[in-house]
Chain A
Amino acid sequence: MIANQLPRSLADNPRLDAWIGFETPGRVRISTGKVELGQGVLTALVQIAAEELDVEPTRLRLVSGEAGEGPNEGYTAGSYSVENSGGAIRIVCAEVRALFLDRTASLLACGTEELSIEDGAFRRSGKGTGFDYWRLAGDIDLSCASTGGASAKPATACRLVGTSLPRTDLPEKIGGGAFIHDMVMPGMLHARVLRQPWRGAILGELDERALHRAARRPIEVLREGSLVALLGEDEASVEAAAVLAREKARWTGGEIPPDAVVQPDWLTTQPAVDRVIANGKPAAGERVEATYSRGFIAHGSIGPSCALARWDGAALEVWTHSQGVYPLRQSLAAALGLDLASVSVRHRQAAGCYGHNGADDAAFDAAFLALKRPGHTVRAQWTRADELTASPFGAPMTVKLDAVLDPEGRPADWGIEIWSAPHGQRPGMHRAINLIGAEALPGAPPRVPPGDVPDANGFGAARNAIAFYDLPAQRIVTHFVAGHPVRTSSLRGLGAFANVFAIESFIDELAEATGQDPVAYRLSLSSDPRARGVIEAAAAMAGWSPDAAIGEGTAKGFGFSRYKNKAAYMAAVAEVALDEEVRVTRVWCAVDAGLVINPDGAANQVEGGVIQAASWTLKEAVRFENGRATCSQWDDYPILRFSEVPEVEVRFIDMASEPALGLGEVAQGPTAAAIGNAVARALGARIRDLPLSRARIMEALL
């Protein structure tokens, strides 16, 4: 089980009643600062709480993402939720259970060892006592701080944790009104906000009368600086005016990115903040080098961002699908000049979220406009083009690797040099507001170049830069392009996607150069038993053969990493078939995530991560023309479709006695690497720049 040191979430929110309450008879309130993004986290948290309390999961009512009320757990990001929120809830529930058992024992003048709990009712030597959590709730003071001292159940005693409890939210998400987009408020005003095509763009004159004419029913046009919003009761009219406004808007100034901004060597020639993370001594000898890259990736959420807000003259209520309701609340209050206490921010669910997308910016749109129209609820809805082009992009990276090999073909040293745009520009990060609507207002403060994601959060550009092998003399250098003109931020895996792709490609290249089998080569460089465990398991699942032919058009490739070098381990084998395009036919994954709370939910996350990473690897890169991202519709930014997805097999190594390790992002890097290595073997030539597009395949074939 999770070790009994206080998880960060509990250290930050120590009061027991911040997490749990028995306010309603027969029900248990569990509060979490983490939010449901489609990853099934709330189901896992229900399992953890119900397990420790010994109540049926159906009694639990989860309160999630209520800034100002629930625990502040920062962002739901970085594969931390089960470790931190789950870890906190487990300790809190174990402690609360012990408090109630002690109270019952003292009332019955018996020892706690005679007591047991069955669905919230306390039993003595197997017989009912008449006491339960709710009857004794008034006797127990939950306003005290957690001591962290209670022992949670050992894995062997768990009956819920470790089972595949089905997600309770799925039926409504298939066919109901589960999403923020479905919220309807009386007197609601629909809003569209024009997006600047690039940072700092200044809007020229706009014929407002033409916008009114384009609408069928009355609308309002609201302009401040370069922020233009259309507002009205009739959504179709608002949209019709917005279509014309987008067409007629003329933009000048600002930070226009050149078309070449997508080139790997554009990034390496920019001013950068240089940092040496590890400084191993280079070995003497012939040096092998290779440079890899990935471009800008769009989040591509299927549901465009949406938010609602209402201002009654004294208090602002905001409904959002942000990953971090507390940081958003801070940024909104700062941007709008409001007292923090007057702003409440509540999470409502939306389409799948894989990082810092447009959710926070849509919340600003709604909040800003709500202040202008007191008493109305304003609903800001982004378009598909907004979602694909105005959300922050996953950051482009160029990664150069080098090594000198010893006589046995093992690296005698190892260097990685990383150029990267920022991976973290969320609201409030680096003391900046980071909301694009606020940046369009007159008098917006000049943009401050952001810092990188802190090391303690698992690094940004350097996430997984340390190769998880027994390599001597690692040198790690980052060149952080803080002043990058394009807005980039956190996307599933951050730097790990490009770094693992590069490291694992390079490992394959070294194996090939020294005539060794890639799996055997990895094992020869790895003494970590859990790393070896997943590498061997994935190879066995896929029927890996060291003698597979090269350059035959079909092949298997291998990839491995331990996410953030501290979360779950994963090894993947990808099988590809090649003609003019790459088709990934199958992927086998072995994952060691310690104790797995919900095996089917975890498998769902890994399968989804594999398919999404395959899509990034094969197809995805944003292009820019005349300063604008050109991916304004799906036809311009294709993602993997049903007939293109590989079959995916996932196996978890049985490690129930080990702490739970985050796995939501574990698949991104190893999948890309496995596909890249498979393509190199199938093609007999290596493509080092992502995506492995048709053009690059054709180029390699010539």
Chain B
Amino acid sequence: MSDLATQMVRFTVNGQPVEADAAGDVPLLAVLRGEFGLTGSRFGCGLEQCGACTVLLDDEPAYACSRPAWTVAGRRVMTIEDAGRDPMLAALKQAFVEEQAGQCGYCLSGIVMRARALLARQPAPDRASIAAALDGNLCRCGAHNRIIRAVQRAAARLSDAGATA
């Protein structure tokens, strides 16, 4: 571990090509937050057990807290900060605000990212499917029901937008 050599990796974050030092198994979360200032993804446990750090890796949910940054070389990383560009994230974020789906908000970015992955493969999920999809994400404030309603609201809005597009 005393090797000070750098290990540069290239990947994309929210559509932008980036380069970062991924030496020493530094976690992707540390790179996103520390190098790129993307503080929307959060540290919760470092053990892949709470989901607060969830990002999308080539559209699939991934725990950024424990995944070494070098493993994302050449891949696409999407974080909550992409809500300005990605219509699904934007719809989810808006629906979460409309449902006031949260209390402290610390778990929400990870939950929104996982919901984004769910809606991409299942555009009209029912309550049970949403709950099952979000089981890897913990919320301690108890906003679960509002969160589930927010995902359903976003799904409905996206499907309306799709129908009129």
A contact set with B: CB distance below 8 Å: 37-40, 164, 166-167, 169-171, 173-179, 181-182, 184, 213-217, 235-236, 240, 300-304, 349-354, 381, 383-384, 600-601, 604-605, 607-612, 615, 633-635, 639-643, 645, 647-648
State the Cβ distance, A338 to closest chain B Cβ, in Å: 30
Whether, in the assembled complex, B121 has its beta carbon less than 8 Å from a beta carbon of chain A, the answer is no
Whether, in the assembled complex, B137 has its beta carbon less than 8 Å from a beta carbon of chain A, the answer is yes
Given the known interface contacts A173-B104, A643-B128, the answer about A612 and B141 at a Cβ–Cβ threshold of 8 Å is: yes
Q: Contact at B4–A608, with CB atoms within 8 Å?
A: no
Q: Contact at B30–A179, with CB atoms within 8 Å?
A: no
Given the known interface contacts A175-B80, A216-B24, A607-B142, the answer about A235 and B106 at a Cβ–Cβ threshold of 8 Å is: no
Given the known interface contacts A216-B4, A352-B106, A643-B131, the answer about A302 and B142 at a Cβ–Cβ threshold of 8 Å is: no
Given the known interface contacts A173-B102, A643-B132, the answer about A302 and B139 at a Cβ–Cβ threshold of 8 Å is: yes
Residues in chain A near residue B24, CB distance under 8 A = 216, 236, 240
Whether, in the assembled complex, B109 has its beta carbon less than 8 Å from a beta carbon of chain A, the answer is yes
> With A and B bound together, what is the CA distance between A350 and B105 in angstroms?
9
Residues in chain A near residue B27, CB distance under 8 A = 236
Residues in chain B near residue A171, CB distance under 8 A = 93, 97
Given the known interface contacts A182-B39, A235-B30, the answer about A303 and B138 at a Cβ–Cβ threshold of 8 Å is: no
State the Cβ distance, A64 to closest chain B Cβ, in Å: 15
Q: Contact at A608–B49, with CB atoms within 8 Å?
A: no
Total A-B residue contacts, Cβ distance less than 8 Å: 180
Residues in chain A near residue B128, CB distance under 8 A = 643
B65-81, CB under 8 A of A: which get 1 and which 0? 00000000000000011
Given the known interface contacts A174-B80, A639-B140, the answer about A169 and B105 at a Cβ–Cβ threshold of 8 Å is: yes
Interface centre among B4, B27, B128, B145 (most CB of A within 10 A): B145
Q: Contact at A215–B138, with CB atoms within 8 Å?
A: no
B42-65, CB under 8 A of A: which get 1 and which 0? 111111011010000000000000
Q: Contact at B144–A634, with CB atoms within 8 Å?
A: no
Report, nearest first, the 7 A-B pairs whose CB atoms are least far apart: A173-B105, A38-B104, A611-B142, A608-B142, A352-B104, A351-B106, A175-B80
Whether, in the assembled complex, B165 has its beta carbon less than 8 Å from a beta carbon of chain A, the answer is no
Residues in chain B near residue A349, CB distance under 8 A = 104
Residues in chain B near residue A642, CB distance under 8 A = 130-132, 134-135, 137, 139, 144, 147-148
Q: Contact at B83–A175, with CB atoms within 8 Å?
A: yes
Q: Identify which of A182, A215, A236, A604 contacts B100 (C-beta below 8 A).
A: A604
Residues in chain B near residue A38, CB distance under 8 A = 103-106, 141
Given the known interface contacts A173-B106, A634-B138, the answer about A384 and B143 at a Cβ–Cβ threshold of 8 Å is: no
> With A and B bound together, what is the CA distance between A600 and B101 in angstroms?
11
Q: Contact at A634–B50, with CB atoms within 8 Å?
A: yes
Q: Contact at B104–A641, with CB atoms within 8 Å?
A: no
Interface centre among A179, A300, A384, A642 (most CB of B within 10 A): A642
Q: Which residue of B lies closest to A303 (CB)?
A: B106
Q: Identify which of A236, A350, A383, A639 contacts B138 (C-beta below 8 A).
A: A639
Q: Identify which of B42, B47, B144 contacts A384 (C-beta below 8 A).
A: B47
> With A and B bound together, what is the CA distance between A639 and B138 in angstroms?
8
Whether, in the assembled complex, B108 has its beta carbon less than 8 Å from a beta carbon of chain A, the answer is yes
Q: Contact at B146–A607, with CB atoms within 8 Å?
A: yes
State the Cβ distance, B59 to closest chain A Cβ, in Å: 18
State the Cβ distance, A420 to closest chain B Cβ, in Å: 24
Whether, in the assembled complex, B163 has its beta carbon less than 8 Å from a beta carbon of chain A, the answer is no
Given the known interface contacts A216-B24, A634-B50, the answer about A648 and B39 at a Cβ–Cβ threshold of 8 Å is: no
Q: Contact at A181–B43, with CB atoms within 8 Å?
A: yes
